[in-house]
Structure formats: structure tokens, C-alpha cells
Amino acid sequence: MFIFRLAAHSMFLMLFLLLVFQQSALADCRLVINKGTNQLAFYENGYLVDVFPVATGRLPQYTPEGDWQVVVKLVYPSWRHPDGGPTIPGGIPENPLGPRWLGLNALGTGGSSYGVHGTNNPYSIGTHASSGCIRMYNEDILWLYDRVPVGSGVNVINSSEDLNSWKVFSTVQVNGSQPDFAPHLGPIRDGSKTWLPVRPTAEALGYRLFWDESSNTLRLANIAREVSLAFGSQQISVNNSVYSAEDAPLMLEDTTYLPDYFFERFLGAQLSQDAGNGVLSLQSPADPWGGRLSRYQMTINVDGKAVNLPESQPILSDGENLLVPIRPVCTATGGIVSWNGPAHTVDVMLREKRVQIPETGSPALVNGAIVREPTGIQIVNGTSYVSLRFLADIFGFITEVNDRSRVLNISTITAPTSLSGPTVLRVSPVAA
């Protein structure tokens, strides 16, 4: 009755594999196949992950409607024409089943008659072309096969409804461009909300991402905000202020997802939704530093006493080094800080040293002599920042950065230069 039947001698192999694969689904996966539009929707743990084009039966009755299950999985299945002829082994161009087979128990069959599989006729995808099976592009069935365990439900329907409309937003734009999502791992839908992959979306908004394995915490930072969130927790920290969200971060397919409102409420992006055209847009404020600098919330202690930095003058990071606001930090260490208008330098008087730091980034002068240590100077919203390493080397401070407790300890006790050493921000990039 249908063209794509497996070779009879393969039945023994299938029965064996059926016994092997009779186990609980590794994930709660479900397929919805719409014969009317030739589409397949893939759900994982209740989230609509993606919609694929397929080919279904040439006539409506060829692909049976109803609720079925995946009962067989095969790699490079062999095939034999139902009218007879030689068996065509899997993995060759002449085999019409492609590289993978997900066999269904439709109409009481054992998984050898009806299935979701690849094809050697990609031009048929999107049409009514088969004698009962569901064809997919080979690259799509390879992706799907690895994620659909035996026991997964399959609902075959016949409707004129475009399954892409179930996603509501099939296109995401960030600052006018589409983020570089991994294949089939763009926006997902839980029925009421759209969730976005954190890494490509946040990076497109100008954030840097860091992962703290010890605390299971993800940190996102740009020049204006530092946002921390933990898996399984609805508590979100923004610049050390804690908020409560309706949802916790989601891990799906080894990818971290956040609902779209997170990016507006906590990351400061402007969110607009055009459901009619299926477009979700995010727009972030312009960053004059192009993502080179990011906020790094820390407590500063100088000789055991806390230094209260203004909210507008936080510690910054350039990815490797900490940058501290010159005036409050040097004042706390006993220095005198002033602006030298004619020379365009920030001058610091401390420990019989007069340090002149040009705003242009040129080498600094210590008592009139040029020093090699880069200052790392940046002028951010009228505040002058320099590298913590520079201050430690010039003035002999002992600096200790505790990334876990977020404390920077500065001791002004004079130490040998070799003890001050470079101060490097130690954080790990996120793998999300």
C-alpha cells in the first residue's frame, strides 16, 4: 500500500532493536505532523523547539491520522520495494529512506511500514509525494533522530493551519540583525511565552557572558549593567539589586534559555512584538565602547576599610584587567587627585610621587620620568578609570581579588614590586 517498506529480512533486526530500545523516553519528546501543510513540529519537555518541512502521502489516506508512537529507530535502513526486487542497502544514493528511520506503530504495525525518514529526493519535501511515510531533508532527520527516543508520541493531523504560527515568533531581530542561533535552536515556545537562547541574544545586545561553576551562576555584563542569575532560581541580581522573576532560566539541548521579557526587564533592551509577521525585536542602547568594557560589581576595602563607590562609578573590566575609578580609590589610599587642564592629565600625588596620567593613553610620567606600565585609562561618563595593575605597580600596593566573594582588598603597606604582580580578572566564558 505504501512505497517505503523495509526489507523483509530486516524485520528480525528491527524486533531485536525494539527490545533494546523499549525504555522510558530520555526526554519528553513529541512530534506533530500536519499533512495539510506538510510540516512536522518537534516538542521537547513541552516546548515547541522547531518546525520542519516534510513530504507526506500522495493521497490523504496514505499517511494515517491519529496518535502513534516511535517504536523503532534505525541507522541507514535497508529498503526493498513492496512489489519485490532486490534489497537496497542503507547508506547508498539509491536507497530512498536516507540515513535514519523512526518507525511508527501506526494502524497496529510494528514500525517497519510507516516511518519518519530521510530521502534521496529532496525536491519532494513540502509536497504530497509519498505512499505513506513522512520524508524529511537528510540533515533534518539526522538532527531529529538524535533527540527523539523510542516511546515518543507522534500525532498525525490534517489541517490548513501553518504550524509555524504555533511558535508565534519565528524571526528574532536584535538591533536590526538576526542573531547567529545554532541550527534549530532559535526561539522556542511554551504555549504562552517565547524563550530565547541567552548567549547569541545577549551577545548581540552587547553583553559579555561569564559562567561561575562553583555557584552555578551565569553573569551577563555590559558597561551599564551586571546581571547574575542561577539555574533553578527566580532571583535575578542587577547591579547588586535583587529582583524576583516569574520564571527561572531553562536548560534545553545544552542551551540556556530565558523568556523574552527578561531581556527588557533585566537587561535594559527595548522589546517589540509583531505577532502578525512573526517577528520579535530587541533594541539595546548604543554602547560607545563597543562592548570593550563591562561592569564588575565588587566591594573595595582599603587597609580593611570599605570604600563606597558611587553607583555611577563602579569597577569595570576590559575582559582581563580590572579598571578602577581613580579619584575615589586613590583618595582612599591617601592620595590627592586633580585634573591638569593644560596638560590633559589626571595627576595623583601619593608617597612623594607625582604621577601624571594622560587622558590620551600615552605613557604616564612619575616625577617627570616616563614609565612603561600601561595605564589602561578610560574616560567613562566623565569619570577617569585606570588599570588596577598600574596603580599596584606604581605605588607598591598589595591587591587581592576574590572573584567568588566579589571583594577587592587593597593594602597600602609598601611591598616589593615582585609581590604586587599583575592583577588579572579570573572568570570563565559561558558555554551556553
Catalytic residue set: 117, 133
The Cα 414–Cα 432 span in angstroms is 43
Is residue 167 a contact partner of residue 279, using CB atoms and an 8 Å limit? Answer: no
Cell of 7: 526489507
The Cα 70–Cα 150 span in angstroms is 5
Question: Which H or E run contains 323?
Answer: strand 322-325
Exposed, middle or buried by CB within 10 Å (0-12, 13-18, 19+), for 217? middle
Cell of 145: 533522530
State the residue for C-alpha cell 519565528.
Answer: 170
Is residue 358 a contact partner of residue 378, using CB atoms and an 8 Å limit? Answer: no
The Cα 315–Cα 299 span in angstroms is 9
**Residue 83: C-alpha distances to residues 130, 170, 342, 424 (Å):** 16, 43, 94, 72
Residues forming a β-bridge with 280: 172, 273
3-state secondary structure of 270: strand
CA nearest 56: which of 4, 105, 14?
Answer: 4
* Helices assigned H by DSSP within 120-244: 138-145, 164-167, 198-204
Is residue 241 a contact partner of residue 133, using CB atoms and an 8 Å limit? Answer: no
Residues forming a β-bridge with 210: 219, 429
Is residue 333 a contact partner of residue 410, using CB atoms and an 8 Å limit? Answer: yes
